[in-house]
Structure 1
Amino acid sequence: MNAIANLNLAQALPGAVRKLDPRELVRAPVLLVVEIGAVATTVLSVADPSTMGWIVTVWLWLTVLFGTLAESVAEGRGKAQAASLRALQQETVAHKVHGSFDQLRYTGNLAELPVDEVPSTALRAGDVVVVAAGDRIPGDGDVIEGVASVDESAVTGESAPVIRESGGDRSAVTGGTVVLSDRIVVRITSDPGRSFVDRMIALVEGSERQRTPNELALNVLLSSLTAIFVVVVGSLYFVADYSDAHQSLIVLTALLVCLIPTTIGALLSAIGIAGMDRLVRRNVLAMSGRAVEAAGDVDVLLLDKTGTITHGNRQAAELLPLTGVAQDELAQASLLSSLADETPEGRSIVALVDGFETGAERLPQPPGELVPFSATTRMSGIDTGNVSIRKGADSAVAKWVHSTGGHATDELDAIVERIGASGGTPLVVAERRGLQPARVLGVVHLKDIVKDGIRERFDEMRAMGIRTVMITGDNPRTAAAIAREAGVDDFLAEATPEDKMALIRREQEGGRMVAMCGDGTNDAPALAQADVGVAMNTGTTAAKEAGNMVDLDSDPTKLIDVVEIGKQLLITRGALTTFSVANDVAKYFAILPAMFVVAFPDLGVLNVMRLSSPESAIVSAVVFNALIIIALIPLSLRGVRYRPSSAAALLRRNLLIYGVGGLVAPFVGIKLLDLVISLIPGL
């Protein structure tokens, strides 16, 4: 997504004023108490005007306004991003296929599809449209026929076009993107108003942001502290009256506002919104703030191998027939058994055989019943007459061969082991004629290429305390070779969707937070089960629906950034909470001595700042209490910088910088304000 310029504060101010509505402030009890105090001091100042009363009143209103301004600025940045996304929602003319596309495909009449021109807003889930070069894709969907180059820069910010094709894990397209070449047929998967871009707009604007469990818990704590201080300050009125140190309601209100945790109360919502905003700026869409928080606590990362750790998809490189099997025979069997395999690997086998100068021919009509590839069986094939052919993972095909009374040979084991040891993936091809035991014909060698720099990124994760686990449907030897090359800590081979779910549940039962990256339909259950499920934007619609984050760049190593942002969110919230509490302690030394020093001169020893007068001390504390919120808004939006280190080191740094800083800053700030405010006549 394109970078958004820093939002002008003037643009956020109207939103901040609207948030002064008490119905809005109910979600921020601390600010609601301050507003009630501001209303009370306004009434008191009108009834009995005084310089101190009006100054306190003005700065109490500014305190509330600065608090709502922090949230308004954070939301405004999201709205600015949403404005660029709305450009994708232009109504376009869609070429909707007239009649049943599946029936047309069955009859083979795809060259000239009958279409009706309809507005894109009239499309519904299940409709099929044809999109040619230069056309804007009218809605979210899956490519069901064809392959094309698509410009997704309006969504991802990347100028390089991407390839979208039917079948496999690169079939999903986003409404509003533009086809640059060729022609594709797309089945629409969302109704109007429910598209991916609609969801992005709602999320980045903050209209669908729900408060996270940690945020809710902290809100409860802040509300409890506020209630306690309301009782304490109310009691002080009677204590002061009993001690002949009578205090006005304006002074007590000022004391209450300075005692309650106004700083973190004002910035809490902005911190959460800014965390999601930082993810969006890295082209990651978080479906909830809870997912961002969970990312900060992740200690186990599961990654799908194909398309995640390795480049693209495995490609068929060679056919290796067993002794006594002709190359043509293996090629013909590989071709027929791959006709129902819509995965990129299956297509690469068809392409490889088509390029051979053998007797293997691609028949215009498959002579039998096709057996589609399944993630559960991990095989595809064909049953024609009395001949059955299967192609798939070596363990799956071996099981099928054994079930017919056949058996694998040492030669097959040697080929499979050699391919696996080299980091490749063997697909075994077998054939059964009549009631005879099935026999293995040979092996198709698929090659994987590990992405550049992936090992270094995994080293970074290890330094952050994250254990990486590669998940693949390949055999253990292949998985081990890729795992060594990529530098992951562990791997799960021959994984079915059920295996992935079981692994995630085992890790979660052990008290660990699990993140999962995936892009395929078979990854959807695991993405839904994981604490943080990051779906690749190039993946299927099912994967994106299941995950609680979508990486628009489809870069699996982006999870490092996601984890860092999650940790940064937690650290920022903790740091500013520490600063706020320490900040309040310092203000006690400004106001409490000022209130009671006349009645109890011995309290003058607590006036360590040597403030000019009780009135100046109270006003200085109120002004500082408001200004510190404005001063911390940039930090709450930017976040405290995260450096990989132990929890103890992070806590120590937090206490030294924000704990000590929260104590020192008010002493310096209030003293400087006192020097200025003491010059005001009437104080």
Structure 2
Amino acid sequence: MTAVTDRPTSSAPHRAQAGAFTPRQLWTSLPESFRKLNPRDMWHNPVMFIVEVGAALTTLLAIFQPSAFTWWITVWLWLTVLFATLAEAVAEGRGKAQAATLRKTRTMTLANRVLGYDEKTDASAEQARQESVASADLGLNDVVVVTAGELIPGDGDIVWGIASVDESAITGESAPVVRESGGDRSAVTGGTRVLSDRIVVKITSKPGETFVDRMIALVEGAARQKTPNEIALNILLASLTIIFVVVVLALGPTAGFAHAAPTVTVLVALLVCLIPTTIGALLSAIGIAGMDRLVQHNVLAMSGRAVEAAGDVSTLLLDKTGTITYGNRQAAEFRAVTGSDGDELIEAAAHASIADPTPEGQSVVALAQSLGHAQLGRVDGEVVPFTAQTRMSGVDYPDGSQVRKGAPSAVLAWVAESSTGAEFAEARADLESQVAHVSGLGGTPLAVAAKAADGSARLLGTIYLKDVVKTGLKERFADLRRMGIRTVMVTGDNPVTAAVIAREAGVDDVLAEATPEDKLALIRREQEGGHLVAMTGDGTNDAPALAQADVGVAMNTGTSAAKEAGNMVDLDSDPTKLIDIVTIGKQLLITRGALTTFSIANDVAKYFAIIPAMFVTAFPGMQALNIMRLHSPDSAILSAVIFNALVIIALIPLALRGVRYRPSLVSALLGRNLLIYGVGGIIAPFIGIKLIDLLVSLIPGF
């Protein structure tokens, strides 16, 4: 027996993140940032509300007791508040710009609706009658034709054709993607543009329920709800602010006893520099940016809570078919039986599959071509299609010879009609051995045979169809393991098949012969053990488990029940995107933690700038604490206030883009963030305040 093998390859497209920040966004967001200075809006951010109150107070002092120092402090306190509202406005502005663009496409796009579409007789709709209608008038299951240069009028599935599609209007990603009928890349989104070719699309969304409508509602509807983690952090920041307000209020009278009472302006400056203004200013932008990163990946989150929960997930449930493996089994190996030639087997199998439209049949042709049989063209003969009765397909050649491919029992019976003897018995035993071996691996065996013009038939060998694990998944599962996340493959296959795929994919555990009740029970057991669980699903039978999971990602091509049960919808219907969602959630939490660490660490340097400056006149010995050797008390205080404002604008890109995430354990991430953002948060102000002080000292009066 000879075996001819090859490993099918593919490369999943990598979606690069859209640029998170440009200077132009600052300029276009300025009007909104000024509107957000309204105290009724600022009240929801206690830290920045205190800064605004302080800025208002110093403004009154600058008017009634004018001095250059007070005016400089006032200007920079107002800039501190403005930079905070600017960060939020920039984060919100990107989504609003997308929504405005998409609203135009919804109202202005025309669609070529097919009348009486019949997929069996005219799949390409070349001969079908069409009418031009507004995209808003399309209904569920309407069929439209979209050609190069046209906008796709609504969310749907490609039922015929393949095309390059520009999705930048929705995802922010400029590189076009390929969408084609069949498989898991057939879903298209309304408002995207076809760049090449021609496709036929069946509309899968009801009016008012398209991605455009959801996007607009998400951005322009009710105010974004804060997540539990964000609420807890707000409470912490508010508590720190109250503590420092009490400290500063008590500092004035206390210093008065030593005849070193600071002015109100100095006390306000001290308070603003002591409270965690950096994270207070960026906290809202971080949360909005996390939601936006999901939108860039074509995932619609129903709540910020779901994004945050994704960052804390410790158990990942992944469906086998379409997630870990390709949706259809693919040819992985040709096995010739005794007395047959490997090349003859490949040629016969390929000829019997050229006219086979199924993914399995096309994979046989692709495997044959990858093994050097590239001259496979149109077969000169009568194609025999597969039927449930014969369970075989093949070709009848003009010279009377034939080839057949199909179920081993059917092919054996076809050969046995005209073949007997020791040679047939030996080939049959070899074939049955191969069938048993492939079945034991969890694969699907197909037998191949040929019949000569004189009627003599013989077995050629088998084709090993297998569930092919998607390229790169094993490495990604290893990354998840380093993050402390346990992966569980869920499948309806028997335990033997499931174990083979699980071993090849590198998942941690497997649930075989799973029913909807089994999935639900597994999620509950994990949650009772203190784990947060994420899973994907697309069917009505997945709805209970999606609702129970902490992060339930429903496929956009799935049933309405599944989409209503989940708290996220994947518009690409790509189940492997669950791994990206977990990464985005973790990046959100890490970004928030890193900038909180940086903000609190910043205060250390500010103490050394302001405290000595406040008391050095009454207590000359305090000059020893002026380790930065700042020019004067006034320049030291103003430099600290200026740095406090500028660091906000400097960190806006990081808040929107997110701290770079590398798969590793929580303890390692914590140590890394403390080192980079903790130590960095202490060092950066020493450098920044000193440089600003050198410039401030050039101003007359300082």
**Structure-2-length-normalised TM-score:** 0.72
Select which of 547, 551, 554 maps to 1:528.
547
Judge conservation of contact 2:152–2:193 (CA < 8 Å) in 1: yes
For residues 141 and 354 of structure 1, do their structure 2 counterparts lie closer, same or farther at Cα, with a shift above 3 Å needed?
farther
Write the distance in 2 (CA, Å) between the matches of 1:526 and 1:234. Answer: 54
Residues in 2 aligned to 1:66 and 1:648: alpha-carbon distance in whole angstroms = 33
Specify the code of the residue in structure 2 equivalent to 1:611: L
**1:617 partnered with 2:636:** yes
Identify which of 12, 15, 25 aligns with 2:42.
25
Whether the aligned pair in 1 keeps the contact of 2:163 and 2:199 (CA below 8 Å) is no
Q: Which residue of 2 aligns with 1:74?
A: 91
Equivalent residue number for residue 602 of structure 2: 583
Contact 1:520/1:542 (8 A) holds in 2: yes
Is 1:278 aligned to residue 308 of structure 2? Answer: no
CA distance in 2, matches of 1:499, 1:115: 47
Secondary structure class of the residue paired with 1:680? coil
Q: Report the counterpart of residue 664 of structure 2 in structure 1.
A: 645
Could you tell me which amino acid in structure 1 is paired with residue 656 of structure 2? L
* Alignment map for 1:166-565 (pairs within 5 Å): 174-176=189-191, 186=203, 189-192=205-208, 194-203=209-218, 209-314=224-329, 355-356=385-386, 420-424=439-443, 447-565=466-584
Query: 1:41, 1:454 → 2: CA distance?
Result: 59
Cα deviation, 1:96-134, whole Å, max 9, x if unaligned, reads 8999x9xxx9xxxx999999976443456xx55232454
Decide whether aligned partners of structure 1 residues 639 and 470 sit closer, same or farther in structure 2, where only a CA change above 3 A counts: same
Residue in structure 2 matched with residue 409 of structure 1 by the alignment: none
8 Å CA contact 2:163–2:179 kept in 1: the answer is: yes
Worse overlay, 245-254 or 258-267: 245-254
Which residue of 2 is the match for residue 626 of structure 1?
645
Conserved 8 A contact 2:107-2:136: no
C-alpha separation in 1, matches of 2:601 and 2:213:
42
Letter in 2 for 1:257: V
Cα distance change of structure 1 residues 614 and 560 upon mapping to structure 2, 3 Å threshold:
same
Contact 1:94 1:129 in 2 (8 A): no
Taking a change above 3 Å as real, the CA distance of residues 661 and 675 of structure 1, as seen in their structure-2 partners, is same
Distance, in Å, in 1 between the alignment partners of 2:180 and 2:108 is 24
Specify the code of the residue in structure 1 equivalent to 2:41. Answer: E
Flag the 1:535–1:221 CA change in 2: closer, same or farther, 3 A: same
Contact kept? 1:81, 1:204, Cα under 8 Å? no
Work out the CA distance in 1 between the residues paired with 2:443 and 2:308: 38
Query: Secondary structure of 2:232's match?
Result: helix
Code of the aligned partner of 2:76:
W
Structure 1 61/522 Cα, relative in aligned 2: closer, same or farther at 3 Å? Answer: same
Which of 615, 618, 624 is matched with 1:596 structurally? 615
Deviation of 1:557 after TM superposition, in Å, equals 3.6
**CA shift digits 1:590-627 (9 cap, x unpaired):** 22222223333443333333333322222121112112
Letter aligned with residue 536 of structure 2: C
**Against the structure 1 CA distance between its residues 663 and 170, is the aligned structure 2 distance closer, same or farther, given a 3 Å change threshold?**
closer
Instruction: Map Cα deviations across residues 64-101 of structure 1 (whole Å, 9 max, x no partner).
Output: 111112222222333344455445424455688999x9
Residue 278 of structure 2 aligns with an amino acid whose one-letter code is T
Q: Distance in 2 between matches of 1:40 and 1:182?
A: 64
Q: How big is the shift at 1:263?
A: 0.9
SS at 1:598's partner residue?
A: coil
CA shift in 2, pair 1:487/1:421, >3 Å:
farther
Deviations 1:349-403 (A, max 9, x none): xxxx982478669xxxxxxxxxxxxxxxxxxxxxxxxxxxxxxxxxxxxxxxxxx
**Match of 2:315, as an amino acid?**
V
Q: Report the residue type matching 1:355 in the other structure.
A: P
| One-letter amino acid of the structure 2 residue matched with residue 248 of structure 1 | T
Distance in 2, Cα, partners of 1:672 & 1:178: 50
Aligned twin of 2:337: none
Judge conservation of contact 1:206–1:273 (CA < 8 Å) in 2: no
Question: What is the match of residue 69 of structure 2?
Answer: 52
Q: Judge which range, 641-650 or 582-591, deviates more.
A: 641-650
Structure 2 vs 1, CA of residues 651 and 451 (structure 1 numbering), >3 Å: closer, same or farther? Answer: closer
Match of 1:130 among 137, 143, 147: 143
CA distance in 2, matches of 1:313, 1:55: 69
CA RMSD of aligned residues (A): 4.1
Q: Secondary structure at the match of 1:306?
A: coil
SS in 1 for 2:323: helix
Instruction: Say whether the 8 Å CA contact 2:307–2:585 is kept in structure 1.
Output: yes
Retained in 1: the 8 A contact 2:441–2:496?
no
Structure 1 distance, partners of 2:673, 2:600, is 13
SS of structure 1 residue aligned to 2:534: strand
Q: Distance in 1 between matches of 2:587 and 2:202?
A: 43
SS of the aligned residue for 1:303 comes to: strand
> In the aligned structure 1, how far is the partner of 2:105 from the partner of 2:242?
48
Cα distance in 1, alignment partners of residues 668 and 687 from structure 2: 28
Aligned: 1:64 with 2:77 = no
Three-state SS of the structure 1 residue aligned to 2:260 is coil
Aligned residues between the structures: 575
Per the alignment, residue 387 of structure 1 pairs with: none
Query: Which is further off, 75-84 or 610-619?
Result: 75-84
